[in-house]
């Protein structure tokens, strides 16, 4: 099952994500750019996803994510997490710093 949540830019919206990209072009990483705009590291709520799953009668999931906060947030909403499937994104010279920021500053579980 695939759930789409309209939470572009980790919940700050598309316009603010574009503003964050402009700050990233000036040298800030994704976390610092969000904070410079007055946002937290991740403004998303996963209560809507939990509600959608509940409406569909789904109580247990195996989640496709590298983000431990998604696991914890869904679990806090009452969804039983029975497993996690990692995304595999190899550094390619363009995304190296982005992936490093995800791992080091957001705690993403890369390479696992």
Beta carbons of 34 and 40 less than 8 angstroms apart: yes
Decide if 105 is catalytic.
Answer: no
Active-site residue identified among 32, 42, 84, 96: 42
**How do residues 83-105 score in pLDDT, each as one tens digit?**
999 988 788 988 888 888 888 88
**How do residues 55-75 score in pLDDT, each as one tens digit?**
999 999 999 999 999 999 999
% the chain with pLDDT above 90? 56
Determine which of 15-19, 46-50, 53-57, 104-108 has the lowest per-residue pLDDT on average. Answer: 104-108
State both tokens at 59. 């109580």
Q: Residue 112: its pLDDT value, please?
A: 62
Active-site residue identified among 19, 35, 44, 84: 44
Listed in sequence order, the residues at least 6 apart from 107 whose beta carbon sits closer than 8 Å to its beta carbon are 68, 69
Say which residue the tokens 């791992």 belong to.
103
Beta carbons of 108 and 66 less than 8 angstroms apart: yes
Decide if 96 is catalytic.
Answer: no
Average pLDDT over residues 24-52: 92
Which sign does the torsion angle of CA 96, 98, 99, 101 carry? positive
């Amino acid at each position: 099952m695939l759930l789409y949540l309209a939470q572009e830019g980790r919940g700050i919206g598309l316009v603010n994500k574009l503003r964050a990209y402009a700050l990233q072009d000036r040298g800030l990483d994704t976390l610092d750019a969000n904070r410079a705009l007055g946002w937290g590291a991740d403004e998303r709520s996963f209560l809507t996803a939990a509600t959608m799953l509940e409406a569909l009668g789904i109580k247990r999931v195996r989640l496709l994510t590298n983000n431990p906060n998604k696991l914890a947030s869904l679990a806090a909403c009452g969804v039983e997490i029975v497993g996690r499937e990692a995304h595999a994104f190899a550094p390619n010279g363009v995304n190296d710093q982005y992936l490093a920021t995800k791992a080091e500053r957001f705690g993403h579980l890369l390479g696992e």
